Structure 1
Amino acid sequence: MSSPLTARDLIDRLSAVDPDTPVRLAINPLFPLQHGIADVIAVKDALGRVTVYLTENGEQQGPVPPEVTVAVGWHEPTEAPRRARSAIAAQ
């Protein structure tokens, strides 16, 4: 299991893209959908450790693009099957 993404990691990764680029959450590897982000909330647990939450805005934005699901390792790269021309279509 990889270590959790830190705020520093997130800032570093986001600083590499145009600041006006939309940001989405990719949720559920088995049925990947993208969601808009509403807010960033930092809270302390009972031991005083801070965790940052990216909250979802309740708007499902549609399926996650295949290149994203492949990049994060949720799915294997696939190609659409070739369609055979039928005898009827050839007439």
Structure 2
Amino acid sequence: MESTEMTVGDLHDRLSTCDSAALLQLAMNPYFPMSHRPAQIIQTVDENGRSAVYLAEGNEAETQLGPLPPEVAAALAWHEPAPAPRQRIRRGADGN
């Protein structure tokens, strides 16, 4: 069975196609999608003796940046794309 885990090399390859000046943000929690600012990278060994790298958010309150943009949640398949609400014709005070 092929592993679905991403390696540091996979991440490096994917990031190499991105704008190097772009801000790095983490998309978290598909049920309440929020954007977070990563702050630390820790390398260690996991319980199976494999090298593992952890990308973590910081401890500061401003680490959570706010709701994930809807187009990002849709691209991640966390939410269905939603059409813009229909505009209603507003009636004046006289009913017209």
Corresponding position of 1:71: 75
TM superposition shift of 1:86: 2.4
Corresponding position of 1:23: 24
Corresponding position of 1:14: 15
Identity of aligned pairs, percent?
46
2:14 counterpart SS class? helix
Cα distance in 1 for partners of 2:46, 2:75 equals: 32
Report the TM-score when normalising by structure 1. Answer: 0.86
Return 5+ residue gaps in structure 2 as ranges: none
Question: Relative to structure 1, is the Cα distance of residues 46 and 30 closer, same or farther in structure 2, using a 3 angstrom cutoff?
Answer: closer
In the TM superposition, structure 1's runs of 4+ consecutive aligned residues that sit over 3 Å from their partners are none
Number of equivalences: 90
Corresponding position of 2:66: 62
1:31 counterpart SS class? coil
TM superposition shift of 1:37: 0.5
TM superposition shift of 1:45: 2.5
1:18 counterpart SS class? coil
Cα distance in 2 for partners of 1:11, 1:55 equals: 17
Q: Which has the higher strand share?
A: 1
TM superposition shift of 1:70: 1.0
Task: Please list the CA deviations of residues 19-51 of structure 1 after superposition, one character each: whole Å capped at 9, or x if unmatched.
Answer: 111100100111100000101111112432111
Return 5+ residue gaps in structure 1 as ranges: none
Cα distance in 2 for partners of 1:28, 1:69 equals: 10
